[in-house]
Amino acid sequence: MVDFKIHFLGTSSAVPTKDRGLSCVAINYENIVAFFDCGEGSQREINEAGLGFNKEGAVFISHMHGDHVVGLLGLLQTMSMNRREKSLQIFGPKGIIDFVKLNRAILRFGLTFEVNVSEIKPGLIFKHPKFQVFAQRSEHSTESFSYVFEEAEKPGKFNTRKALKLGVPEGPLWSKLQHGMKIVSPKNGRIVRPEQVLGPSRRGKRIGISGDTRPSQKLKVFFERCDVLIFDSTYSDEHSENASENMHSTSREAATLAKKARVKKLILTHFSARYKNVSTLVRQARAVFPDSIAARDGMVYDVSAES
């Protein structure tokens, strides 16, 4: 089974609380870590989660507000203190290049690894053999992006009966066929190709991360049929005017978008510090989209365990 987990490292909006740090979500895919936003103090939560600072990965910043990006400086320094050698790619909106460059100059800290920083536009922004990341503009008070983490397409279901009929016994040869390699049958010497024993390829799982945003038709299309959608739920119905004024979403609005986008699971996050308990926000979301839960700092959601 593929190791595919979402770590919620910070779930507060703007102001940290006793129980919630500032925005940071990490997707750990087979020991490759993709960080989405990096609020102040994120490196401590990364350490607590056991994610380490030397793994292959990248950082994706949604927008240039302090509670989403200031922790990037500490993360880079902590990675260097841990003698990281692997290069790191950082993606974000306009301003991210100057932010990293100028702060490194002002703070006068060197790095033990190469950093490549890119300002992004909507579309495919990062491609790895095991996954890819897409960006789309969101609706916030400054230039802001939402992201979709998409697992690479998976091979079709292996037909054991066909394999045996073609003279391929159970064992290492089955694995080679499942990984797209043709083999020679040890029983009859014939070449057996993967397409002879595999069904249609299967779409990889998709994780949507909204960042700070108002709901929009553009995001509804972008998040279509995500397996998991992590969405801005800063406010309850009672403070819907604040949501509109500050360019955030209520939990009910997040649920409405999730329902329209036909996602499988909605995880609410980015809660205003005014809510010590977010049960009201969860209840309002579930009235629209029953499969809604609230993120909490330190929570791990196992994507690989879902069918």
Q: How many angstroms separate the CA atoms of 54 and 42, rounded?
A: 15
Residue bearing tokens 């879902």: 306
For residue 75, give the nearest of 65, 90, 62, 63 by alpha carbon.
90
- Return the DSSP state at 270: -
**Residue 35, SS3?**
strand
Q: Considering 3, 19, 37, 67, which one is annotated as catalytic?
A: 67
Task: List beta partners, residue 59.
Answer: 35, 90
3 is catalytic: no
Q: How many angstroms separate the CA atoms of 304 and 288, rounded?
A: 26
Q: How many angstroms separate the CA atoms of 14 and 107, rounded?
A: 24
Q: How many angstroms separate the CA atoms of 162 and 266, rounded?
A: 39
For residue 151, give the nearest of 135, 130, 178 by alpha carbon.
130
For residue 221, give the nearest of 142, 140, 146, 284 by alpha carbon.
146
- One-letter identity of residue 133: V
Percent helix / strand / coil, the chain, rounded to 5: 30, 30, 40
Q: How many angstroms separate the CA atoms of 92 and 72, rounded?
A: 12
Residue bearing tokens 């880079």: 76
Q: Which residues are the active-site residues? A: 67
